[in-house]
Structure 1
Amino acid sequence: MGEIILGMPGPWAEDCREKADHYTTKIGGLPDWPTPDLGMKDDLLHCSVCGRNLCLVAQVYAPISFPKLNLEERVIYILGCPMPKCGGDPRSWRALRVQKYHSEMQLDNNGQVAKPLEEDSAPISKTNNYVEEDSSITGSGREEDESDSDMDLQEFARALSEAASLASQSKKQSTSKHSGSTVRAMATKPRVNSPSIPVVPCFYMYSQKEQSTADKDTICASYSSLSIKEKQNTATDTEDEEKWEGETYEYDTALGADRTYLKFKKQLDAHPEQCFRYSYGGSPLLATTDLAECDTCKFCGSPRNYELQLMPPLLYFLHEAAEGSSAYSPDGWSWMTLIVYTCSKSCCPAFCGEKPGSCCWGVAEEAIIIQNE
């Protein structure tokens, strides 16, 4: 917590409707659902203002890890309505948290993480029983029993090794536990034929840690001092002209300026291509002081935490890429930032308790707060 990860623009997709996977962090295109059977309600994918299909704005692979909770299969989808009259209305936006909850991660009635089920230890006990039963089946001498047991054990170990190898090949690897951590080579991706779903231009993201405040202040100070020296040298060469008095400009001391906005602009100027900011449990970068109150989780009643926010450069890239293409142009989107709050416990919105040892995918709608100009 506290660490800020910036989503920076990577390569453009060859086709806006090309297929990827849910481990991929990207802007635009079609949502890559982890499984077709999510049990998602239809109204979550439709605009509450005009009733049309929503389009994907951002897909962020966002695993989290805590002492009692470790979720690798977790994605945040941000959807918006591309219609010009709907873009500024909060009802035309959706933030969906999609995650896979194993049985040992389920919540009890009090919203707490349940203890691991006993069935999790079953594979070990079964293995031991398998070895013991094999060693007692034959009625031959002890040496034959031991050799047969060793052979069975070797075969079993080989089977486990092959299974582990297949699992490691199928499991997607991530270079970081934070959002935007997965950057993939997008060559020859298959196209998905979904003409009814609107799309905005698609490009992929890579992550970058934001510099500390001290580092940015040092850089800004060096730029200011350099500017002053250059102007002073110019003044000495032109003595007949009006003498320039050096002065420094600071965002926080601008007369009559909104300090909240100036801080927002200062952070934006430090990384002018940032499309989103991610800091699970951190603090949002506000564009205005007018911040709507965020409600609690609809499933477990826990307070929601800040997780990520979309930034203005995202709109610029989408506008530029939409010209002359078949993709939608976000003409009605003029927000300064779009902030997403998610359940602080990342609770499971589905119920898998009826099937011990099973796991399931769950979909939860989270809160979005829009700050306009």
Structure 2
Amino acid sequence: MSSAAHNFTLIGICDGELDSKRYQSSYLTNKVGGSPDWLPVFSRQPPRCRRCSAPLAHVVQVYCPLEASPYHRNLHLFACLRAECCGRSESWVVLRSQCLEAEAAAVQAPSRAAPPQEATTAWCDNADDWGVEGEAGDGWGGCVEKKTKARKEAPVLETEDNPQLCEPDISKSFQDLSLAELKDIPVFRPFFISVVEESDLCGEEVDLEHAQELLKEYERKEGAAVGQLEESSVSGEKYEKSRARHGDVTFSRFMKTISVCPQQILRYCRGGKPIFISKPPSNMAQLVSVCNYCGGSRTFELQLMPALVSLLQRKDGSTEVELEFGTVVVYTCTNSCWTSGSNSAVEEFCFVQSDPDQQLFK
């Protein structure tokens, strides 16, 4: 996949609470929390934590079809809320599900659509309308959502005619869940996610003012200006005197990148590069395993951001924060391999980093 085709990043921003009494969400909806809206041919039971075997809570749902593909396509992210599992990559699961448009139409009537300002928004390729039709930036500091050009993606890889590609099977994660356990699965309050192209946010005064406050707070705590932490491409200086407590300049770069819109809860750039909140392992390329189903490579697709943590509120009214993270980076099969007619989701790869200064985003 050519990196030249991925020259912009899409930003996900909270767009208000999803009131189930007024709007019916579906697999076409981008949202935080709530119950996952599976494609109509899929199992509706949640996966389990690899570490403690507890059922996982649904965190984010993203509708992200690929260009020129006949498939609907979703990513669902789940996490374990137990204290001993919080912040561990093995306690998160990301599932990719696909379904032919014709199959979905055959088994399910179209859902009642939400209003334009809270409408489902595709993250890539087939999406023509990237934002609201009402006033620009309503409720979000003037973050304007505009139409953008479709991007080229790797073609969907049909596996039904290729005997070397096995059927996705994560059934073990769905087995042995009792009714009591299903009732005990925590559910976060659902919120719509709206989409804006990152380049459209440049120059937004309200966002930049907020960003400057965050950066000043960071500098006060670290005892060094963020600008001093930038690595020089000429001298190669190591900045040991002005080095941040975190041990490198990664965090300051993370802060500067998100400064145009600190309230972003998700970044999407399939085929692009993630931004890490702390220095990633030196063998990160090896940690991102190949696709378990076709053996092909994986590519970065999206990441969850620290501002999402404050939105993860229990529907039962509990105010206790049960899930904290710095960023959750998701890599998916480059070919988006799939077997037509499958009713089992494909598990992809995610990498979790904790936030060294979580309090700055609360």
Which of the five TM-score ranges fits, normalised by the shorter chain?
Answer: 0.5 to 0.7
1:252 to 224, 227, 230: 230
Question: CA separation in 2, counterparts of 1:81 and 1:171?
Answer: 32
The 1:102–1:269 alpha-carbon spacing in structure 2 relative to 1, beyond 3 Å, is: closer
State the match for 1:275 in structure 2.
265
1:287 is matched by which residue type in structure 2?
Answer: I
State the match for 2:299 in structure 1.
305
Question: CA separation in 1, counterparts of 2:100 and 2:227?
Answer: 51
State the match for 1:317 in structure 2.
311
The 1:177–1:332 alpha-carbon spacing in structure 2 relative to 1, beyond 3 Å, is: closer
| Bigger Rg, which one | 1
Aligned residue for 2:328, secondary structure, equals: strand
1:100 is matched by which residue type in structure 2?
Answer: C
1:306 is matched by which residue type in structure 2?
Answer: F
Question: CA separation in 2, counterparts of 1:12 and 1:334?
Answer: 20
The 1:171–1:213 alpha-carbon spacing in structure 2 relative to 1, beyond 3 Å, is: closer
The 1:205–1:305 alpha-carbon spacing in structure 2 relative to 1, beyond 3 Å, is: same
Please state which structure has a larger fraction of its residues in helix.
Answer: 1
Question: Is the aligned partner of 1:195 residue 2:183?
Answer: yes
Deviations 1:225-271 (CA, angstroms, capped at 9, x unpaired): xxxxxxxxxxxxxxxxxxxxxx9945516721322211101122221
Aligned residue for 1:70, secondary structure, equals: coil
Q: Normalising by structure 1, what TM-score?
A: 0.59
Question: CA separation in 1, counterparts of 2:256 and 2:28?
Answer: 31
Question: CA separation in 1, counterparts of 2:17 and 2:131?
Answer: 12
Question: CA separation in 1, counterparts of 2:9 and 2:54?
Answer: 34
Tell me by how many angstroms 1:199 deviates: 0.6
2:29 is matched by which residue type in structure 1?
Answer: T
Question: CA separation in 2, counterparts of 1:175 and 1:315?
Answer: 22
Counterpart contact for 1:337–1:370, Cα < 8 Å: yes
Question: CA separation in 2, counterparts of 1:211 and 1:267?
Answer: 12
Question: Is the aligned partner of 1:209 residue 2:191?
Answer: no
Aligned residue for 2:256, secondary structure, equals: helix
Tell me by how many angstroms 1:326 deviates: 0.9
Tell me by how many angstroms 1:345 deviates: 0.3
The 1:298–1:279 alpha-carbon spacing in structure 2 relative to 1, beyond 3 Å, is: same
Question: CA separation in 2, counterparts of 1:207 and 1:176?
Answer: 8
State the match for 1:284 in structure 2.
274
Counterpart contact for 1:27–1:202, Cα < 8 Å: yes
Tell me by how many angstroms 1:280 deviates: 0.6
Name the % identity.
Answer: 26
Q: Normalising by structure 2, what TM-score?
A: 0.61
Counterpart contact for 2:87–2:353, Cα < 8 Å: no
Question: Is the aligned partner of 1:61 residue 2:63?
Answer: yes
Question: CA separation in 1, counterparts of 2:17 and 2:194?
Answer: 12
1:252 is matched by which residue type in structure 2?
Answer: E
Tell me by how many angstroms 1:38 deviates: 2.3
1:273 is matched by which residue type in structure 2?
Answer: Q
State the match for 1:265 in structure 2.
255
Question: CA separation in 1, counterparts of 2:202 and 2:15?
Answer: 27
Question: CA separation in 1, counterparts of 2:52 and 2:17?
Answer: 30
1:157-172 to structure 2, matched below 5 A, reads: none
Aligned residue for 1:316, secondary structure, equals: helix
State the match for 1:160 in structure 2.
none
Counterpart contact for 2:64–2:122, Cα < 8 Å: no
The 1:183–1:80 alpha-carbon spacing in structure 2 relative to 1, beyond 3 Å, is: farther
1:38 is matched by which residue type in structure 2?
Answer: F
Question: Is the aligned partner of 1:46 residue 2:36?
Answer: no
Question: CA separation in 1, counterparts of 2:123 and 2:7?
Answer: 14
The 1:90–1:169 alpha-carbon spacing in structure 2 relative to 1, beyond 3 Å, is: closer
4+ residue runs over 4 A deviation? 167-177, 179-184, 212-216, 247-251, 327-330, 359-362
Instruction: Structure 1: state its 5+ residue gaps.
Output: 104-162, 185-193, 225-246, 353-358
